[in-house]
Amino acid sequence: MPEKDTERLSEEVRQNLDLLRKDLPRRIDILAISRRSKIPWKSLEYRESLIWRFADLGPGAYDEFCKERMVSAITLTRAAAETLAAMWCLRNQIQIALDSRAVGDLHEHVMKGWMGSSNPDADFPSAHRVYKHLIKRTDEDSFRESYETLSEFSHPNYAGAAGLFSRSNWREMTTEFGPDTERLRAARSICINCLSATVMMFMQMYNQVGESIPDLAKLCEELLDGKS
């Protein structure tokens, strides 16, 4: 990617993250959402918890990118992408409920994300398995492929270790260590493209979930009344 495009994307990411952080929710009024159903406010609480997580990860990834610490930047971008996947799947589950006029497994889905734990001894619902229950359920091949690319750099394998920080000279039978300029440039391009798309998609999904909460509350109350 040309440097001017990298700089343009970097500035867009910075601006979008600044906008996101300015509007972080501070409080929700549970009774104002629904006085009779717990599902709408639990969904909203899960949504707001996710944006706070994203507002922690996104700027961290951007700061590391600016310092050209690509492994850190990509690892944080990957975590931000997982948070996007959680918001995306929440949006999808709510839409399924609204389209089918039935809650289905929405409550279970929300509880697994909002209160879930991977510790089998914890007295909490079992958590979503990130790749199986979130990444794959976005139903977007390009997103899944980007996540898998980020994972290659996030793990301590070739792309995330030797590929970035070592150069072998087989004629002299030596290996030198330190940042590989060309490979770091490629990693930098991958990072800023993925981070830019992740930030924009997260903001879109976050807004869509918020817009659907009143309709979800109405549906849940109608179901309690036996009207749907």
Please give the pLDDT value at position 99.
97
- Cα torsion 9, 15, 17, 20 to 10°: value is -140
pTM of the model: 0.92
Q: Which residues contact 74 (CB under 8 A, 6 or more apart)?
A: 61, 150, 153, 154, 160, 187, 190, 191, 194
Nearest to 60 by CA among 47, 77, 83, 82: 77
Task: Answer yes or no: are the C-beta atoms of 142 and 157 closer than 8 Å.
Answer: no
Residue with tokens 């390009």: 142
Look at residue 105 and tell me whether its pLDDT is greater than 70.
yes
Residue with tokens 């971008």: 77
CA distance 101 to 90: 16
Give percent of the chain above pLDDT 90. Answer: 79
Q: Tell whether the model's pLDDT for residue 141 goes beyond 90.
A: no
- Please give the structure tokens belonging to residue 200: 């924009």
Sequence-separated (6 or more) residues with CB below 8 Å from residue 25: 48, 51, 52
How much is the average pLDDT of 68-90? 96
Question: Could you tell me if 215 and 106 are in contact, meaning their C-beta atoms sit under 8 angstroms apart?
Answer: no
| Each residue's pLDDT tens digit, 161-213 | 999 999 999 999 999 999 888 899 999 999 999 999 999 999 999 999 999 99
- In tens, the pLDDT along 8-35 reads 999 999 999 999 999 899 999 999 999 9
Residue with the two structure tokens 């898998």: 148
| 46 pLDDT higher than 90 | yes
pLDDT, position 4: 78
Kindly give, in sequence order, each residue whose CB lies less than 8 Å from that of residue 83, ignoring residues fewer than 6 positions away.
50, 53, 54, 57, 202
Place of tokens 């980007």: 146
Q: pLDDT category, 97, cuts 50, 70, 90?
A: very high
Those residues whose C-beta lies under 8 Å from the C-beta of residue 26, and which sit 6 or more positions away, are none
The answer to whether the CB of 87 falls within 8 A of the CB of 209 is yes
Where residue 129 falls among pLDDT bands split at 50, 70, 90? confident
> Six-digit token pair at 61?
């990834």
Cβ neighbours of residue 120 under 8 Å, at least 6 residues apart? 126
